[in-house]
Amino acid sequence: MTSYLSHLECTICGAEYPSDRLSGVSPCCGKVLYARYDLPRIRAEVDRDRLAERTPNMWRFAELLPVDDPDNIVTLGEGGTPLMELKNLEQALGVSNLYVKEEGLNPTGTFKARGIAAAISKGLELGATGFTMPSAGNAAGAAAAYCARAGLSAKLNLVDGLIGDAGRQAVAVAQEQGLFDLSTLKEPYRAEGKKSMGLELAMQFGWRMPEAIIYPAGGGTGIIGMHKGFLELLELGWIKGDLPKFIAVQAEGCQPIVKAFHEGKDTAEPWPNATTVADGLRVPGPFADYLMLHAIRDTGGTALAVSDADMIAAMYELATAEGIFACPEGAATLVGYKRLIAEGFLRKDETTVLFNTGSGYKYLQLIEGVKG
């Protein structure tokens, strides 16, 4: 079980770079670098059906993750989250084949654990001595936990502003103190960890893909990573067929991708005065906008925005109907699903996966009668 990482590749111009040194954005275009693997060799040497026998965390996909030496893996058991059919909601809504991928069960309570585990492990393998990142909370919580796990210390700087303001500080701190900047998609490793959500989903469906994935999109790592992962699985011949429609749900108060998608644009303009209770969706100017928009269009998906009030109502709905305490971001996907069924964009029997990206326990301030 070792990585088949072969090189890094610029997502704009295709220029290739060696994968044996710590890398951020592409030197040629200043945009996202993708990790690339020796897929023909994996195809020849790895038996897909053996993966299910491995320890059920994201490292069961080690061949398709960037860490070379298993001893360098910093883990808290991330991944291996359940895929559950929502039988009660199916009955209530008159639909079938509706699932949730429950990422709230990850260490630190969100799917952010996957990307941070991959990036910190790979960063340390390539000589990083410390890390920095801007965060609305969930990513930094994961980063602090994985740094502690790696024996590093973590320090929190509160920034009065939005994530872009924190991002500028992160760049300055990285330069000053020689830290590796983990800003969303400004390094190639976090997306690889997020990719494991898609690999897992394919495995859990018996090496098939669902027909639609509804995902609460902020910085875009989930959609971009899963799209990349499915393309790798197709190239490996481990799955066949059409990619699932990628459907991005954003908040009404911060919907740059929804706007760009419906205007037919390839990039998004920064959303002014972004506000939403869904911290993970408060990303007014996602760096990887072009990759998110590509994944949505390439798969025949769509993008829509929901209100904070609807998200919170859906948190209660998921909790009472299914016993799933979702974060507002995750609950937003149920709101989106119902609207797309009503509009006829999705068929009532279309195999659809809602992503609950985090636990409602991280958002107790939104629950009536609970002191946050």
Ligand X SMILES: *Cc1c(COP(=O)(O)O)cnc(C)c1O
Which residues of the chain form contacts with ligand X (CB under 6 A)?
110, 112, 138, 184, 216-222, 280, 327, 329, 357-358
Q: Shortest gap between Cβ of 126 and Zn ion (angstroms)?
A: 21
Secondary structure (3-state) at 213? strand
Closest CB to Zn ion among 12 and 83? 12
Closest CB to ligand X among 95 and 327? 327
- Which of 293-325 are b and which e, b meaning 16 or more Cβ less than 10 Å from the residue's Cβ? bbbbeebebbbbbbebebbbebbbbbeebbebb
Closest CB to Zn ion among 10 and 254? 10
Pick what 1 binds: ligand X, Zn ion, none; C-beta below 5 to 8 Å, kind-dependent. Answer: none
Task: Give the integer Cα–Cα distance in Å for 247 and 319.
Answer: 23
Pick what 219 binds: ligand X, Zn ion, none; C-beta below 5 to 8 Å, kind-dependent. Answer: ligand X
Binders in 20-39 for Zn ion, by CB under 5 A: 26, 28-29
Closest CB to ligand X among 60 and 227? 227
H-run or E-run covering 331:
helix 328-342
Q: Is 10 in the site for Zn ion (CB under 5 A)?
A: yes
Task: Give the integer Cα–Cα distance in Å for 330 and 111.
Answer: 11
Chain residue at closest Cβ approach to ligand X: 280
Task: Give the integer Cα–Cα distance in Å for 102 and 344.
Answer: 26
Closest CB to Zn ion among 26 and 255? 26
Pick what 162 binds: Zn ion, ligand X, none; C-beta below 5 to 8 Å, kind-dependent. Answer: none
Task: Give the integer Cα–Cα distance in Å for 370 and 267.
Answer: 40
Q: Shortest gap between Cβ of 37 and ligand X (angstroms)?
A: 21
Closest CB to ligand X among 219 and 244? 219
Q: Shortest gap between Cβ of 260 and ligand X (angstroms)?
A: 14
β-strand pairing of 352-356 with 302-306: unpaired
Closest CB to ligand X among 174 and 311? 311
Binders in 119-178 for Zn ion, by CB under 5 A: none
Q: Shortest gap between Cβ of 6 and ligand X (angstroms)?
A: 25
Pick what 222 binds: Zn ion, ligand X, none; C-beta below 5 to 8 Å, kind-dependent. Answer: ligand X
Q: Is 12 in the site for Zn ion (CB under 5 A)?
A: yes
Binders in 341-370 for Zn ion, by CB under 5 A: none
Closest CB to ligand X among 51 and 311? 311
Task: Give the integer Cα–Cα distance in Å for 46 and 208.
Answer: 18
44, 62 contact by CB (below 8 A): no
Pick what 135 binds: ligand X, Zn ion, none; C-beta below 5 to 8 Å, kind-dependent. Answer: none
How many residues appear in the chain? 372
Pick what 216 binds: Zn ion, ligand X, none; C-beta below 5 to 8 Å, kind-dependent. Answer: ligand X
Q: Shortest gap between Cβ of 271 and ligand X (angstroms)?
A: 14
Task: Give the integer Cα–Cα distance in Å for 23 and 123.
Answer: 9
Q: Is 13 in the site for Zn ion (CB under 5 A)?
A: yes
Task: Give the integer Cα–Cα distance in Å for 259 and 171.
Answer: 28
- Which amino acid, residue 229? G
Which residues face 101 on adjacent strands? 83, 355
Closest CB to ligand X among 81 and 184? 184
Q: Is 288 in the site for Zn ion (CB under 5 A)?
A: no
Pick what 13 binds: Zn ion, ligand X, none; C-beta below 5 to 8 Å, kind-dependent. Answer: Zn ion
Residues 6+ apart with CB under 8 A from 219: 184, 185, 283, 286, 287, 288
User: How many Cα atoms sit within 13 Å of 168 on the Cβ side?
Assistant: 7
Which residues face 181 on adjacent strands? 132
Sheet containing strand 16-17, edge to edge, reads: 16-17, 5-10, 33-37
Dmax over CA atoms of the chain, in Å, equals: 57
Q: Shortest gap between Cβ of 138 and ligand X (angstroms)?
A: 3
Task: Give the integer Cα–Cα distance in Å for 198 and 200.
Answer: 5
How many residues touch Zn ion (CB under 5 A)? 7
Pick what 10 binds: ligand X, Zn ion, none; C-beta below 5 to 8 Å, kind-dependent. Answer: Zn ion
Contacts with Zn ion, residue ranges (CB under 5 A): 10, 12-13, 15, 26, 28-29
